[in-house]
Amino acid sequence: MLVRIVRMTFRPDAVAAFLEIFRSSKDKIRAFEGCQHLELLRDLDQPTVFITHSHWTGPEALEKYRQSALFQQTWAATKLLFADRPLAFSGQQVPTP
């Protein structure tokens, strides 16, 4: 399983627009083949900072989503709203004894 974290900072005037984009696309993303989990978090100290936390069956599933029309459309609308460059991280759980 691959865990993907994306931290995005929006212009204050763009937060409502981003929330609408997320609301209208979240179910489609969750239904995308390979997506096992998707949630949206808001930073407690910075109300214009949001974090998406998603789980994918593997890197191939995430890449297939990133090449899809759904991602291209969603990301094109979202990136117009940024106040700063987004940060993205991918990782895997580490087994512990």
Residue 96 in domain: no
pLDDT surpassing 90 at residue 95: no
Residue 97 in domain: no
Tokens of 10: 């929006």
Q: What is the pLDDT of residues 6-59, one digit of tens each?
A: 999 999 999 999 999 999 999 999 999 999 999 999 999 999 999 999 999 999
Using the 8-state DSSP alphabet, how is residue 54 labeled? E
pTM: 0.93
Residue 23 in domain: yes
| Domain limits for position 14 | 2-91
Tokens of 70: 């759904």
Residue 87 in domain: yes
Residue 25 in domain: yes
pLDDT for the residue 27: 98
Domain count, the chain: 1
pLDDT for the residue 48: 98
Helix, strand, coil proportions of the chain in percent (round to 5)?
40, 30, 30
Q: What is the pLDDT of residues 54-78, one digit of tens each?
A: 999 999 999 999 999 999 999 999 9
The CATH number that applies at residue 64 is 3.30.70.100
28 Ramachandran zone, left/alpha/beta (phi>0; psi -120 to 50): alpha
Residue 60 in domain: yes
